[in-house]
Amino acid sequence: MTQPTKQHQYFIIGGGGRVGYFLARSLLAAHHEVVLLEKDPRRVAELNRELGDVVERGDACEVKTLEGAGAVRADYLLAVTGEDEDNLVMCQVAKAGFTRKPDKVCRTIARVNNIANIKLFEQLGTDVIVSPTQNILDAIGTEIPLPTVAHISPPGNSGDVHLVEVRVAGDAAARGKPLATLGLQKPNEVILLIRGTENFTPVGAFTLQAGDKLFAVVNDKGQQILQRSLLGGQG
Amino acid sequence: MAKPNGVPSVCIMGCGRVGAMLAERFHDLHYAVHVIDLNAEAFGRLNDREVREHHTTQGDGTDPEVLERAGIGDADIFIAVTNGDNRNILAAQVAKRQFEVKKVICRIYDPKRHEIYGKLGIQSICPTIIGADTIFAAVTGEPLGAGLALYVGEEQRGS
């Protein structure tokens, strides 16, 4: 916070909602130059009281407003209103509405709510897209222990031996611990572990992470151990 | 939505005065017309009962899912005439990029944005310029100069 970042940069933030406010506060704390643009005069007064005089009243989608805010020399435009259309347009206007020195680019970062619009924003030249909706969906995908313990071999068919698939839950007891601490004994064996795009046979010292997918050959006892230590939430 | 053989199909976003008038005109020309608006009450502006009752979709036309429900997949023409410049701009780009509609035109009140999007290959008309020029001409008696080419953003091949 007190240490200036390597380079002092100029940020224009479009939209003085909560996201815009916290961004401005953080960037100012990191000693960057910031102008926050907000349409609603009441909100402008409120923000200026809290942030000091860095808030200007205006529509960040308008060339004139961006011009007044010094868009030609801005390093970043952060488009963070609650409306996708406004965020898209301010990014496009910031890029196409100004003539800059060839070495001077303004990177645009946009918040996108409708995930159906993410691809379009990418195609239309927004440099970075942040979608809270997508982020939360991704989080759900890794957090929910789905399917609990899936049987690959039909249970009961091969006596007390099962081939199972388990995903390490976000609140699993074994998270961050070496595989060996699960207490899986001999005939029980984790034969394959998939993490991201990689897959391998883990050694006992291998540390488990949420989201890891395990394939194991286990007996009933081994299966209970996996359930207890990997599924979390008393699954 | 369903397009009888060979009949051009037009999808209009925004059922205000302009949207409703366009819908009537294209309907009179026997185009397949479909109208989208956030507010179902806006469809009351449509005089033709068939259009009003069978060819409208309530929803946000910047949402690809809503556009799809309105049959944009079959549309030859997409017109964005809501009151929001940015909504029109976003919807026009969705129609053009994602659904590859051949003819896309939108309304942009802000002359600056009208100019910028012309360069980016989005065809638009700017009522502000048209209005000011028309009134100016009416007062000064000067003819309406360069004609519509001025008001309709050049269609350029955006990449």
Is A40 an 8 Å CB contact of chain B? no
For every one of its 159 residues, what pLDDT tens digit does chain B have, with 9 covering 90 and above? 445 568 999 999 999 999 999 999 999 999 999 999 999 999 999 999 999 999 999 999 999 999 999 999 999 999 999 999 999 999 999 999 999 999 999 999 999 999 999 999 999 999 998 888 888 888 988 777 654 444 455 554 433
Contact B119 A96 (CB under 8 A): yes
Q: Is the residue at B133 inside a domain?
A: no
Distance from CA of A114 to the nearest CA of B (A): 7
Q: CB–CB of A198/A144 below 8 Å?
A: no
Instruction: Please check whether residue B78 is in contact with residue B104, taking contact to mean a CB–CB distance below 8 angstroms.
Output: yes
Query: How many CB atoms sit inside 10 A of residue B130's CB?
Result: 15
B135 touches chain A (CB under 8 A): no
Give the domain range for residue B68.
9-107
Q: What is the ipTM of this complex?
A: 0.84
Q: What is the model's pLDDT at position B156?
A: 44
Pairing between strand B77-80 and B9-13? parallel
Superfamily of domain A10-139: NAD(P)-binding Rossmann-like Domain (3.40.50.720)
pLDDT of residue B37: 97
Say if B89 is an interface residue toward chain A (CB within 8 Å).
Answer: yes
Please report, for the domain that includes residue B85, its CATH number. Answer: 3.40.50.720
One-letter amino acid of B102:
K
What is the model's pLDDT at position A62?
94
Report the alpha-carbon distance of residue A144 to residue A150 in Å, rounded.
Answer: 14
Strand order, beta sheet including A149-151: A149-151, A162-167, A213-218, A189-195, A198-200
What is the tally of structural domains in chain B?
A: 1
Interface touch B98/A85, C-beta < 8 Å:
no
What region does A70 belong to: left with phi over 0, alpha with psi -120 to 50, or beta?
left
What is the pLDDT, as a whole number, of residue A4? 45
Is residue B134, in this structure, part of any structural domain at all?
no
Is there a domain that residue B28 lies in? yes
Q: Which of A54, A62, A64 lies closest to A10 in space, CA to CA?
A: A54
- How confident is the model at residue A146, as a pLDDT? 46
Q: Is residue B147 part of a domain?
A: no
Nearest-CA residue of chain B relative to A86? Answer: B86
Q: What is the pLDDT along chain A (235 residues), one digit of tens a residue?
A: 444 445 789 999 999 999 999 999 999 999 999 999 999 999 999 999 999 899 999 999 999 999 999 999 999 999 999 999 999 999 999 999 888 888 888 999 999 999 999 999 999 989 999 998 888 888 776 655 444 566 666 555 556 777 888 888 888 888 888 998 888 887 888 888 888 888 888 888 889 988 888 888 888 888 888 888 888 764 3
Q: What are A34's strand-pairing partners? A: A11
Q: What is the pLDDT of residue A75?
A: 95
Residue among A102, A50, A93, A87 nearest A69 (CA):
A93
Cβ atoms of residues B68 and B94 within 8 Å: no
Query: Which of B63, B93, B112 lies at the smallest CB-CB distance from A124?
Result: B93
**B118: nearest CA partner in chain A:** A96
B103-107 and B123-125: which strand pairing? parallel
- Which residues 6+ apart lie within 8 Å of A7 measured at CB? none
Contact A85 B119 (CB under 8 A): no
Would you kindly state where each structural domain of chain A is located, as residue ranges?
10-139, 144-230
Across the interface, whether the CB atoms of A114 and B93 are under 8 A apart is answered no
pLDDT, position A154:
57
CB A79 within 8 A of CB A90: yes
Contact B86 A124 (CB under 8 A): no
Q: Is any Cβ of chain B less than 8 angstroms from the Cβ of A83?
A: yes
Token pair of B140, please? 């000064």
Q: What is the pLDDT of residue A167?
A: 85
> Would you call A83 and B86 a contact, using CB atoms and an 8 Å cutoff?
yes
Where in A157-209 does DSSP place strands (E)? 162-167, 189-195, 198-200
Given 1.10.3720.10, 3.30.70.1450, 3.40.640.10, 3.30.70.260, which CATH number is that of A144-230? 3.30.70.1450
CB contact under 8 A, B112 and A117: no
- Decide if B64 touches A, using CB distance below 8 A: yes
Residues B86/B74, Cβ–Cβ less than 8 Å: no
Residue B5 is predicted with a pLDDT of 65
pLDDT at A6: 55
